[in-house]
Structure 1
Amino acid sequence: MLISEFMTDQQLVEGCRQGDRCAQRQLFEQFQRIMYSTVYRITNDEDDAHDVLQEGFIQVFKDIGQFRGVGSLGGWIKTIMVRKALRKIQHEKRYEPLLPDSTAAIIWPDDLSGEVLDQAIREIPAKCRAVFLLIEVEGYAHREVADMLSISEGTSKSQLHYAKQLLRIKLKSWYV
């Protein structure tokens, strides 16, 4: 099959199972940008993100025979990438101490930019950052995140709550 031809996910999977380099290249090109974005936001380091991306796609091509077509191919690849990114940063503490409840409403300035918010997100611990990004940015449900990260749904919820507390505290310290 020519590389310029568009292959469906099913054709990509079958081509990769057979070791077709064109299928592998197309799969990589189709998913590498979004996967890099995901792993970079988790690792918070360009070099680590490139390493994770490379290791992740090696794992994808090695395990492509395990993809059963339940759910999307992109979701299956993202699960591999997120788990690789979390392993890369596993030296960080698994659970962070709870913070005092800071649920009081905060009025943010009108000049709060996406760049400032992105910087604040990058400064929270990796494990709760991963949960925050997967739920609040990527739109996954707690059950999906729990499955993806091999954690309980309750842990997903508590890590999201913790991430929001940290963001609130960090942004409040920058603007108050």
Structure 2
Amino acid sequence: MEQSGNQNITDYDLIKGSIAGDPRIQEILYQRFAPKMYAICLRYAGNNDDAQDLLQEGFIKVFRNLEKFRNEGSFEGWLRRVFVNTSIEHYRRKVHLNSISEKEEVGIEDVSVSVLDQLAERDIVQLVQELSPGYRAVFNLYVIEGYSHKEIGEILGISEGTSKSQLARAKSILQKKVAEHLGVTRK
């Protein structure tokens, strides 16, 4: 946890001190942002260990590239982008998307996941972690990060239709998992 005196240190001071190599300032930066960045990593990772690895890899990139932050937008937003990109790079290295033919894509309908409102955040994260890596990546990029299907296709190297299909399947699977979790029987 941050010590009370460290709360008054601005993001600018954290950036400047970290670039200068001050280990105390680097530790404060880490402590301030690690919980939020870990939550991002956990959404993309299959488990806590992988999320910890992504967190470490992300902070290594942050400290190596701090001088590239141009004070355009929020520092936390820049950090978030680094961790999302780190998670996507990890995904690309480790997993190939399940291929879906165009014929299969046509028949998949968009499914609403309105019952997610009834679950606690940790339950939702757990259910999303249970998705296959391809579905999880598309779901996170579309629903959480706000990317379009075209952008997701470019990021993951898949077609826009495949992105839509993967999202529909992810939503369908999540809907079933939520119903099971809540003990609701479906027809």
**What residue number does 1:35 align with?**
37
Residues 166, 45 of structure 1: alpha-carbon distance in 2 compared, 3 angstrom cutoff: same
1:130 maps onto 2:148 in alignment: no
Displacement of 1:30 in angstroms is: 0.9
Q: 1:25 aligns with which of 13, 20, 27?
A: 27
For residues 111 and 87 of structure 2, what CA distance do their matches in structure 1 show?
33
For residues 23 and 154 of structure 2, what CA distance do their matches in structure 1 show?
31
**What residue number does 1:73 align with?**
75
Give SS of 2:5's match. Answer: coil
For residues 126 and 14 of structure 1, what CA distance do their matches in structure 2 show?
37
Superposed, which structure 2 residues align to 1:91-170 within 5 Å?
A: 91-94=94-97, 96-97=99-100, 99=105, 100-103=107-110, 113-114=119-120, 117-137=124-144, 140-142=145-147, 146=151, 151=155, 159=163, 162-170=166-174
Question: Any unmatched runs of 5+ in structure 1?
Answer: none
CA-to-partner distance for each residue in 1:120-146, whole Å, 9 max, x for gaps?
Answer: 322223344234335434xx4326x94
Give SS of 1:4's match. Answer: helix
For residues 84 and 140 of structure 2, what CA distance do their matches in structure 1 show?
11
CA-to-partner distance for each residue in 1:48-94, whole Å, 9 max, x for gaps?
Answer: 11111111111111111111112221122222222222333332224
For residues 146 and 27 of structure 2, what CA distance do their matches in structure 1 show?
31
Normalising by structure 2, report the TM-score: 0.69
Supply the RMSD in Å over aligned alpha carbons: 3.7
- Give me the identity figure in percent: 25
For residues 10 and 157 of structure 1, what CA distance do their matches in structure 2 show?
42
Greater share of helix = 2
Give SS of 1:55's match. Answer: helix
Count of equivalent residues: 169
1:47 maps onto 2:53 in alignment: no
Give SS of 2:51's match. Answer: helix
Farther-moved stretch of structure 1 (155-164 vs 59-68): 155-164
Normalising by structure 1, report the TM-score: 0.73
For residues 16 and 109 of structure 1, what CA distance do their matches in structure 2 show?
40
Displacement of 1:104 in angstroms is: 6.6
Question: Any unmatched runs of 5+ in structure 2?
Answer: none
